[in-house]
Amino acid sequence: MVVALALDESGIPETAEARIAVVEKLYKKAAEYGIDQKDIIIDPLAMTVSANDQAGRATLATVKYVKEIRHGLSLLGISNVSFGLPLREHITSIFFTMAMQNGLSAAIMNPNSMEMMKAWTCFKTLSGLDAQCLEYIGFAEKYSEHLAANTVSAGTAPGTPANGSAVAPATSNGNDTIHPLIKAILKGLKETAAAETLKLLTGSDGKEPMSAVEVIDTKIIPALDIIGKDFEQKKAYLPQLLMAADAAKDAFAVIKTELEKKGVEGEKKGPIVIATVKGDIHDIGKNIVKVLLENYSFRVIDLGKDVPPEAVLAAVIKEHAPLAGLSALMTTTVGAMEETIKLIQKDAPWCKVFVGGAVLNQDYADKIHADAYCKDAMESVKYAQSICK
């Protein structure tokens, strides 16, 4: 490839129009030598704004012309733009961002500059080039460490993580004592999570097989607790929480399939209406409760998540259900739970309501007049057995 600078015998043109004219001359001359446009990178030249306050505009307009009109490639040595100014990296990094936005193809820039890497990473994230914002999250982690080390602006940039590599939350980093299933959930590795779950359930790793409840209680829930705490402490971010939740779901899907294989046939008890309350989309815990209840021969009518009180009531009435289970995981949605309980107790007084979810406890369940609080899926089975004989 050839790098062609946008200058001629008369020097570097100051205006965008004149520089673009040089670009056209370059393409033409190259063609005479049999050099194809795709093999040329035009350098529109970053001139210093402290010497000419219009210099940035001329360069950016030329970058844009090369990209949008000629569909060609461009390159800039970025840092020259800020020569002679204080806090040069402010100008350099923003200029870099603007150049990328105008279609710059390549840059000569300092990858050891924190500000430049910030511009690069944020640009990628905002341009849809950073799957699930993982690169940005990885950068942010390093950036925070950097700030803590108190060496802002002139310091060394973090090594940008490899594209697409999952950035594990701090808690899970490099800790070899963590069980592989927990690790897989923390890192959002769905296939590994499913494979590790199967190993635990079947004992195919040469160890004693675990029960479904044991896998849920000692692996899946602790993993989600870790990522939840990391999320709270801003060590993990929403994309990671989502990935962990997805991996946990896949692990759980394996448990469900294994339980179904063992399937208990016979008459079904219940039915039990079950739902995550309005405003709340957390359904992993509710789904676990559902599967376990089904495994103990209950017919479960699962209304899903974010379910309005009226919809729960309607299902209870339609099925004349003796029991309804409500799940809430956020302090903000416990109100909806209380509202649902009130409605059921008023219009379907035969139906008992049992509640669960991480934000609840016995005291709170009493306060909102639930008939029972179950701290986990196994307790919910025991309670259901006491009601639906």
Secondary structure of residue 2 in the 3-state scheme: strand
Q: Taking CB under 6 A as the rule, does residue 368 contact ligand B12?
A: no
Out of 45, 172, 380, 388, the residue judged to bind ligand B12 by CB under 6 A: 380
Q: Taking CB under 6 A as the rule, does residue 224 contact ligand B12?
A: yes
Q: Taking CB under 6 A as the rule, does residue 307 contact ligand B12?
A: no
251, 196 Cβ separation under 8 angstroms: yes
Q: What are phi and psi of 219, to 5 degrees?
A: -125, -60
How long is the chain? 389
Q: Taking CB under 6 A as the rule, does residue 180 contact ligand B12?
A: no
Give the Cβ contact number of residue 18 at 10 Å: 15
Q: With contacts defined by CB under 6 A, how many residues of the chain interact with ligand B12?
A: 39
Between 16 and 221, whose beta carbon lies closer to ligand B12? 221
Q: What is the C-alpha separation between 344 and 369, in angstroms, rounded?
A: 11
Out of 4, 55, 315, 374, the residue judged to bind ligand B12 by CB under 6 A: 374
Q: What is the C-alpha separation between 324 and 355, in angstroms, rounded?
A: 8
Instruction: Write out the binding residues for ligand B12, residues 182-221 only, by CB under 6 A.
Output: 221
Q: Taking CB under 6 A as the rule, does residue 354 contact ligand B12?
A: yes
Give the Cβ contact number of residue 240 at 10 Å: 25
Out of 70, 319, 376, 387, the residue judged to bind ligand B12 by CB under 6 A: 376
Minimum distance between the CB of residue 216 and ligand B12, rounded to whole angstroms?
6
Q: What is the C-alpha separation between 262 and 257, in angstroms, rounded?
A: 9
DSSP label of 155: S
Q: What is the C-alpha separation between 168 and 86, in angstroms, rounded?
A: 38
Q: Taking CB under 6 A as the rule, does residue 135 contact ligand B12?
A: no
Minimum distance between the CB of residue 352 and ligand B12, rounded to whole angstroms?
11
The identity of residue 141, as a single letter, is: E
Out of 122, 166, 195, 241, the residue judged to bind ligand B12 by CB under 6 A: 241
Q: What is the C-alpha separation between 89 and 110, in angstroms, rounded?
A: 10
Out of 284, 336, 370, 388, the residue judged to bind ligand B12 by CB under 6 A: 284
Minimum distance between the CB of residue 267 and ligand B12, rounded to whole angstroms?
22
If phi > 0 it is left, if psi is from -120 to 50 it is alpha, else beta; for residue 327 that is beta
Out of 270, 285, 309, 322, the residue judged to bind ligand B12 by CB under 6 A: 285
Q: What is the C-alpha separation between 100 and 106, in angstroms, rounded?
A: 9
Minimum distance between the CB of residue 329 and ligand B12, rounded to whole angstroms?
4
Q: Taking CB under 6 A as the rule, does residue 301 contact ligand B12?
A: no
Which residue carries 């430049």 as its tokens? Answer: 116
Give the Cβ contact number of residue 267 at 10 Å: 6
Between 8 and 371, whose beta carbon lies closer to ligand B12? 371
Q: Taking CB under 6 A as the rule, does residue 331 contact ligand B12?
A: yes
Minimum distance between the CB of residue 221 and ligand B12, rounded to whole angstroms?
5
Q: What are phi and psi of 359, to 5 degrees?
A: -85, -10
Between 42 and 324, whose beta carbon lies closer to ligand B12? 324
Nearest 10 degrees: CA dihedral of 165, 169, 170, 175? -80
∠ CA 28-29-32 to the nearest 5 degrees?
Answer: 95
Q: Taking CB under 6 A as the rule, does residue 325 contact ligand B12?
A: yes
Instruction: Please choose, out of 7-15, 296-304, 336-344, 373-381, the segment that lies near ligand B12 by the rule CB under 6 A.
Output: 373-381
Between 85 and 242, whose beta carbon lies closer to ligand B12? 242
Q: Which residues bind ligand B12 (CB under 6 A)?
A: 221, 224-225, 227-228, 231-232, 238, 241-242, 245, 274, 279-286, 288-289, 325-327, 329-332, 354-359, 374, 376-377, 380
